[in-house]
Amino acid sequence: MTLMVESTWYREKLRQQRGQGKISERLMEYADPLLRRLLNAPTLPPESTLRSMLMIAVTLWNAEVLDQLGRDTGILVDVRAKIRGMPMTPDLRAVAEEMLERKRKHFPDDLRLIGDFDMSLDASGGLRVRAEARALPELMKAH
C-alpha cells in the first residue's frame, strides 16, 4: 500500500519536473560554486579535473536525492567520508560539503537522479555538458 502511494507520488513529481528544464542545465546550476573556483583560476584546469568535479557534483546530487526519498540513508555519511579522503584543496573540500546543503536549499523538489553525463570544452574554453535524467525504477512501477 505504501509503495503504491509512494510510487504515484514519485511519478507525479517526475511529471512536474519535466517542465523544469534539462537535467544538464540543472547540473550546471547546481555545480556552479564548485566549477566557478576552477574556471576562474588564472589557467584553465585540465579537462580531467573538470570531469572529476562534475562527477563529484553528480554523486552529491544523487546522494541527496536518494536521502530525500529515504532510499539509502547511509549514503550521505559515505559520501562525506569519501570527500574528506579525496586529494583536493581545503576550500574545494568545503565547497563540496556545502553542495549537499545547496541541493536541499535550492533544488528541494527536483528528485531526478543524474545518470550518464559527458562534458567537453569548446574552442573558447566554455564548458558543455550533456546529462541523462533517471528515475528510480521501483518507484515508477504502476500498481
Residue spans of the domains in the chain: they are: 2-140
Could you say which residues of the chain have pLDDT below 70?
A: 1-20, 72-73, 137-143
pLDDT of residue 72: 66
Which residue in the block uniquely carries the three cell numbers 541523462?
Answer: 132
pLDDT digits (tens, 9 = 90+) for 86-121: 777 787 778 878 888 899 899 988 888 999 999 988
How far apart are alpha carbons 69 and 49 in whole angstroms?
30
Instruction: State how far Cα 54 lies from the chain centre.
Output: 8
Task: Judge whether 108 and 91 are in contact, CB under 8 Å.
Answer: no
* pTM beyond cutoff 0.95: no
Q: Which amino acid is at 5?
A: V
